[in-house]
Structure 1
Amino acid sequence: MTESYTYLSPIGLMQFDSNGQQLTSIHFVDHEHNTDKFDLKLRETITRQLDDYFGGRLHHFNLPIQPQGTDFQKRVWKQLETIEYGQIISYQELALKLGDKNLVRAVGGANSKNPMAIVIPCHRVIGSNKKLVGYAGGLWRKKWLLRHELEFKEKRGELF
């Protein structure tokens, strides 16, 4: 049975779905959908970590996640987790990190199926032409997230 918790972020409502122990998906929604059975400790952890992320204080999430996908998708998502806060890479660079430049389209497809918005940072991947392309939450959110991370990285002096 899926349990859900909705969090109001600066860029819209985010829904967290759980199997009772681990998060199975995180996505943007238009309406609240909370279930009474959602684990209180997990809800507090999510809220604290997202508040800290949006406040510029958290750069790496530590949430119990269990994304569902193919073995290839999971490899891509693991690689996404290595992209540092405030950094961007292209789909081509991501394919090269996976060992084959010809995987660009497959990498893009796996990226688009990422079930863990923000926590697995697919928003940090851009087109080879340095343009923002593809984001399930909408390109305006991708742009917002990248600017947000860059702003806090600059405030801490990490660019110098």
Structure 2
Amino acid sequence: MHYSKRNKHLNGKGYTLLEALFNFVVFIMLSQIVLLVLAWIQQMNATFLTNEGAAWELFIQDMQQYFVEVENVSLSSDSTSIDIYYPIQTIYTINQSGDVLRLKKNDGNVPLLIGIKSVFFKWDNQFISIEATFQNGIKKERKFFVQKSQE
């Protein structure tokens, strides 16, 4: 009787090395698929959920209107603020306050770009360059032509 139980166990009813290898291969394939899906989700988040590109392009569209019919432009000593002078005794100041790039008018402040870490201006007699660094480290730069007023 003892012999028959041993014989039954040796007849292949147990867990074999081949089954273990098959389970291991299936596990490795499933883990690779999970890693690919996670990488794809992260790439989609980086592409669709960051709105810095869209916010920057809207900011560019808004900024172009401020550089038409300009009398003079002056830059602050640390290049973080710019004053725009217009012929009708109007002065606009663009500077950073916290994480917001704002336009100071006579009647208050207008937020132009939100979520920035730093901004630098460069004035080259006909062109203004604006370089902004967002909170997540993305850097954007654009150069504007300044149209002087005809006196």
TM-score range, shorter chain: under 0.3
Q: TM-score, normalised by structure 2?
A: 0.21
Higher Rg: 2
Q: TM-score, normalised by structure 1?
A: 0.21
Flag the structure with higher strand content. 2
